[in-house]
């Protein structure tokens, strides 16, 4: 597993420090108001579990699972919410957490639907990685861990074919691992 990594971009210690800082920032901004922290499965689970423990404010947790519709290997760009949050979000402050902001389609769709269909009044977004070069939708996260170049990254929740999510760091996957 480790041998498939060309370069470590963010060590476990880098991630820990940055997540703690994000947690402090979110806690300050919430100013004691209770928020629902909503994880987008599956990629955000490691980030989410560390982030909620770094938020020093009352929170509830919930989950959503989004996927892109597509045919073959190409995505149509349409996002389907496979799992909806179970709790009542009407009038709530919601912090949507994802591992990476890429084209922006997933986060954009989720934020709209949380507002329009679930009635949340204050929706904020928190992503660990921001791959700005790939953006096709005009969206910026309210909280960002690290900007990242347009390289294939895995680890700390990020996968290739559902593998490498359990690496404790984030690294660049060697091209021979995903090119045949
Ligand atoms: C990844 C990632 C984000 C989304 C970002 O999810 O976790 O949710 O893609 O891409 P976008 O900005 O282009 O929409 P993926 O569909 O790979 O599922 P996973 O979280 O289960 O790995």
Task: Please report the domains of the chain, with CATH numbers, ordered by start residue.
Answer: 13-148 (3.40.50.2020)
Q: Is 157 in the pocket of ligand 1 (CB under 6 A)?
A: no
pLDDT at 76: 60
User: Of all protein residues, whose CA lies closest to atom 10 belonging to ligand 1?
Assistant: 102
- Which tokens sit at 77? 């760009």
Catalytic (active-site) positions: 102
pLDDT at 69: 62
- How far is 2 from 138, CA to CA, in rounded Å? 35
The pLDDT tens digits of the residues spanning 47-60 come to 999 999 999 999 99
23 DSSP assignment? H
Strands across the sheet containing 35-41: 74-83, 59-71, 35-41, 93-101, 122-130, 143-147
Under 8 Å between Cβ of 107 and 92:
no
Q: Is 118 in the pocket of ligand 1 (CB under 6 A)?
A: no
| pLDDT over 70, % of the chain | 94
Instruction: Look up the pTM and report it.
Output: 0.94
| Residue ranges for the chain with pLDDT beneath 50 | 71-74
- How far is 103 from 119, CA to CA, in rounded Å? 25
pLDDT at 169: 98
Q: Is 171 in the pocket of ligand 1 (CB under 6 A)?
A: no
Using the mean position of ligand 1's atoms as its centre, give its distance from the Cα of residue 29 in Å.
26
């Amino acid at each position: 597993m480790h041998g498939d990594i060309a370069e470590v971009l963010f060590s476990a210690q880098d991630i820990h420090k940055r997540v703690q800082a994000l947690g402090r920032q979110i806690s300050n901004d919430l100013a004691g108001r209770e928020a629902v922290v909503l994880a987008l499965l599956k990629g955000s689970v490691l980030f989410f579990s560390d982030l909620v423990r770094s938020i020093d404010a009352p929170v509830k947790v919930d989950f959503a699972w989004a996927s892109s519709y597509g045919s073959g290997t190409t995505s149509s760009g349409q996002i389907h919410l496979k799992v909806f949050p179970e709790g009542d979000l009407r009038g709530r402050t919601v912090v949507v957490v994802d591992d990476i902001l890429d084209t922006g389609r997933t986060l954009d769709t989720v934020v709209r639907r949380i507002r329009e269909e679930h009635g949340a009044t204050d929706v904020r977004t928190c992503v660990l990685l921001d791959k700005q070069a790939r953006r096709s939708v005009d969206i910026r996260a309210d909280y960002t861990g690290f900007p990242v170049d347009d390289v294939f990254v895995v680890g700390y929740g990020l996968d290739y074919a559902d593998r490498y999510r359990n690496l404790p760091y984030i690294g660049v996957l060697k091209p021979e691992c995903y090119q045949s």
